[in-house]
Chains A and B, each alone.
Chain A
Amino acid sequence: MATQHSRAAARLMISPAVALLLIWMIVPLTMTIWFSFQQYNLLYPDRTGFAGWSNYVYFVTDFRFAPAIRNTLVLVLGVLAITMIGGILLALLLDQPFWGQGIVRLLVLAPFFVMPTVSALVWKNMFMNPVNGFFAHIAKAFGGQGFDFLGQAPLFSIIIMVAWQWLPFATLILLTALQSLDREQMEAAEMDGAGPLSRFVYITLPHLTRAITVVILIQTIFLLSVYAEILVTTNGGPGTASMNLPFLVYLASIVDNDVGMGAAGGVIAIILANIVAFFLMRAIGKNLDA
């Protein structure tokens, strides 16, 4: 009696929050879907009305669409690879006892607090600039020539920038997981004759799987929507070399003033994200239970 009563009360009390969240999500989603079926170009305010699937057809048949999809996936996978491998190595390093551990761990986290636009601009102007950049200076010191990162390898450069930002996140989560590894387990493995590499493969890595799963899931969600770094560095170019899906949506709706087509791109991005999420959950989600 009392529990039923309190359960009803609990539902009543959380309902405003639930309703707010639902509206928060439903309204933009519905509007996006609505616009994606409308003729809505800011340059031609007179042309309105139902557009059918034409916005989708225009978006998908756009010559920039295929490269954008490919770049989106390359970007996500590239950053994931760098942050996972780098994160594990850094976490292993930071897990060792050394002097000044606390401060170093704090500093490692720093890139995560730098805004994406700021970090991308710093990378672009202070490191990757072919004339005045730090890398160019190093190359010149060895008698070489500055490399035009953003011109010659735009997608790679953006992957580096984004990976730099996400490395601390991966490192931190993995370090926390490492620290929860039972020391006696390691010692038992040592007594069982496992060398450092075997201990890593058979003890450490299995212990980390859950943390690795979490990092991959969270990062993928954010990496699918990388945008600011591209805007302030390459603008998607040269050509379509560094254009991803969110950036193409921006070009369609803001630069081309075609809100309807942009909305259609947004819906496609949502569908793509869900497909990726589905496969991710299938592939690694089973690590989360048990």
Chain B
Amino acid sequence: MGQIELSQVTKGFGDVTVIPPLDLRIEDGEFVVFVGPSGCGKSTLLRLIAGLEDTTSGRITIDGRDATDLSPAQRGLAMVFQSYALYPHMSVRKNIAFPLKMAGVPEEERARRVEAAAKVLNLTSYLDRRPGQLSGGQRQRVAIGRAIVREPKAFLFDEPLSNLDAALRMGMRLEITELHQRLKTTMIYVTHDQVEAMTMADKIVVLNAGRIEQVGSPLELYRRPRNLFVAGFIGSPKMNFVTGPEAARRDAATIGVRPEHIGISRDGGDWKGTVGVAEHLGSDTFLHVTTEHGMITVRAGGEVDAAHGDTIWLTPDPAHVHRFDAGGARL
């Protein structure tokens, strides 16, 4: 079990309110990702759930029980920190066994469970090393191992991959997702990287300045962003926004079109533009086109023969034009 509910939770540091009143429900077994720009309060929110910070007001319940005033240990959650926070003077084995030792689990069972966790995470041959003798990815796995031996109600991850290089990040992303498939335990994962959010989550919570902008599945957020912030944050490359007469023509203050929903032509279309930088990735080509409505990024499939200075025509796909009012809300 691992169902977590926050109702009217707020958090302030001194006079500064970091989390205004917030409601959120996380179902048992869900993989929930908190995503938002740096400093928006993701870590704070996660630490509130973990019990490492006290709420200023509001209630947190775990599996229906009020956990607002419980200590971190009593909540039965496990956390993986951005810095891994391994105990440097203990071997990998002792690191993983530490929560069990604190819980008073007898020696033989401790050894058995550590072996099991090490096997799942491919750490068996490193059990007697110190964290300082491991690579970043291995340390990450030890931190995860320390979390899973306790069989917690939920895992909390705070930007666990941000210290890894790009290739490792991809690998660990898959490993964590697979771990979730296997354990079926609730996971709350914090990141500022929308790609991680899109690829891993069952449910994404988009945060901005401590407020929840939108909650939904990755594709819901992609298809129907509730406001300009979510529209701009989810999706890569970013959605193009156009204001002025082009938007007014469609009865909106701002319209948004994703780069992949714009057609290009040499002969004619809605918007005329000049190709600036063309990024050829092989599978895709990203064209940065200067038009009278501003800079528009276009994603053209495959190998497109477009060079700097070429004149082309862009046509947004009318079925995928997002309309927003003056306040930024979706129309």
Interface residues of A (CB under 8 A from B): 182, 184-185, 187-194, 198, 202-203, 206-207, 209
Question: Cβ of B73 and Cβ of A191 under 8 Å apart?
Answer: yes
Tier of interface size on chain B: 20 to 34
Question: Cβ of B72 and Cβ of A185 under 8 Å apart?
Answer: no
CB distance from B84 to the nearest CB of A (A): 8
Of all chain B residues, the one with the shortest Cβ separation from A190 is: B72
Q: B98 contacts the other chain (Cβ, under 8 Å)?
A: yes
Say whether, besides A192-B99, A192-B102, A202-B98, A187 and B87 are in contact (CB < 8 Å): no
Residues of A within 8 A of B72 (CB): 187, 190-191
Residues of B within 8 A of A182 (CB): 83, 85
Say whether, besides A191-B52, A207-B89, A198 and B102 are in contact (CB < 8 Å): yes
Residues of B within 8 A of A184 (CB): 81-83, 85
Q: How many angstroms from the CA of A185 to the CA of B143 in the assembled complex?
A: 11
Of all chain B residues, the one with the shortest Cβ separation from A205 is: B89
Say whether, besides A191-B79, A192-B146, A194-B102, A206 and B89 are in contact (CB < 8 Å): yes
Say which residue of B87, B88, B99 sits within 8 Å of A193 (CB atoms): B99
Of all chain B residues, the one with the shortest Cβ separation from A185 is: B85
User: Within B88-102, which residues are at the interface with A (CB < 8 Å)?
Assistant: 88-90, 98-99, 102
Most chain B C-beta atoms within 10 Å of own C-beta, residue among A184, A189, A191, A194: A191
Question: Cβ of A193 and Cβ of B103 under 8 Å apart?
Answer: yes
Residues of A within 8 A of B82 (CB): 184
Provide the main secondary structure of the chain A interface: helix
List 7 A–B pairs whose Cβ atoms lie within 8 Å, in order of A's numbering.
A187-B72, A187-B79, A188-B81, A188-B85, A192-B99, A192-B102, A209-B89
Say which residue of B50, B52, B87, B103 sits within 8 Å of A202 (CB atoms): B87
Q: How many angstroms from the CA of A194 to the CA of B88 in the assembled complex?
A: 16
Of all chain B residues, the one with the shortest Cβ separation from A186 is: B85
Provide the main secondary structure of the chain B interface: loop
Of all chain B residues, the one with the shortest Cβ separation from A194 is: B102
Question: Cβ of B52 and Cβ of A187 under 8 Å apart?
Answer: yes
Say whether, besides A187-B52, A203-B87, A193 and B81 are in contact (CB < 8 Å): no
Q: How many angstroms from the CA of A182 to the CA of B89 in the assembled complex?
A: 13
| A184-B83, A187-B81, A189-B87 known, 16 other contacts, Cβ within 8 Å | A182-B83, A182-B85, A184-B82, A185-B85, A185-B86, A188-B81, A190-B73, A191-B77, A191-B78, A191-B79, A198-B102, A202-B87, A202-B98, A206-B90, A207-B88, A207-B89
Residues of B within 8 A of A198 (CB): 102
Say whether, besides A192-B99, A193-B99, A194-B102, A187 and B85 are in contact (CB < 8 Å): yes
CB distance from B43 to the nearest CB of A (A): 11
Of all chain B residues, the one with the shortest Cβ separation from A188 is: B85
Q: How many angstroms from the CA of A193 to the CA of B79 in the assembled complex?
A: 12
Question: Cβ of A193 and Cβ of B52 under 8 Å apart?
Answer: no
CB distance from B86 to the nearest CB of A (A): 8
Contact mask for chain B residues 249-290; partner A; CB cutoff 8 A; 1 contact, 0 none: 000000000000000000000000000000000000000000
Q: How many angstroms from the CA of A209 to the CA of B82 in the assembled complex?
A: 26
Q: Across the A-B interface, give the 8 residue pairs with the lowest CB-CB distance, nearest first.
A: A192-B99, A184-B85, A188-B85, A193-B102, A193-B73, A206-B89, A184-B81, A191-B72
Say which residue of A192, A207, A209 sits within 8 Å of B98 (CB atoms): A192
CB distance from B201 to the nearest CB of A (A): 23
Q: How many angstroms from the CA of A206 to the CA of B94 in the assembled complex?
A: 14
Residues of A within 8 A of B89 (CB): 206-207, 209
Q: How many angstroms from the CA of A206 to the CA of B99 in the assembled complex?
A: 17
Residues of A within 8 A of B52 (CB): 187, 190-191
Q: How many angstroms from the CA of A203 to the CA of B95 in the assembled complex?
A: 11
Q: How many angstroms from the CA of A266 to the CA of B289 in the assembled complex?
A: 87
CB distance from B209 to the nearest CB of A (A): 24
Say which residue of B71, B78, B87, B103 sits within 8 Å of A185 (CB atoms): B87
Question: Cβ of A192 and Cβ of B73 under 8 Å apart?
Answer: yes
Q: How many angstroms from the CA of A185 to the CA of B88 in the assembled complex?
A: 9
Q: How many angstroms from the CA of A119 to the CA of B73 in the assembled complex?
A: 48
Say whether, besides A193-B73, A202-B87, A203-B87, A188 and B79 are in contact (CB < 8 Å): yes
Residues of B within 8 A of A207 (CB): 88-89
Residues of B within 8 A of A206 (CB): 87, 89-90
User: Within B213-256, which residues are at the interface with A (CB < 8 Å)?
Assistant: none
Residues of A within 8 A of B73 (CB): 190-194
Residues of B within 8 A of A193 (CB): 73, 99, 102-103
CB distance from B138 to the nearest CB of A (A): 17
Q: How many angstroms from the CA of A192 to the CA of B104 in the assembled complex?
A: 12
Residues of A within 8 A of B81 (CB): 184, 187-188
Question: Cβ of A189 and Cβ of B83 under 8 Å apart?
Answer: no
CB distance from B269 to the nearest CB of A (A): 53
Q: How many angstroms from the CA of A262 to the CA of B87 in the assembled complex?
A: 52
Q: How many angstroms from the CA of A206 to the CA of B89 in the assembled complex?
A: 7
Q: How many angstroms from the CA of A192 to the CA of B73 in the assembled complex?
A: 6
Say whether, besides A185-B87, A203-B87, A191 and B50 are in contact (CB < 8 Å): yes
Of all chain A residues, the one with the shortest Cβ separation from B83 is: A184
CB distance from B152 to the nearest CB of A (A): 9
Residues of B within 8 A of A185 (CB): 85-87
Q: How many angstroms from the CA of A19 to the CA of B252 in the assembled complex?
A: 85
User: Within B39-61, which residues are at the interface with A (CB < 8 Å)?
Assistant: 50-52
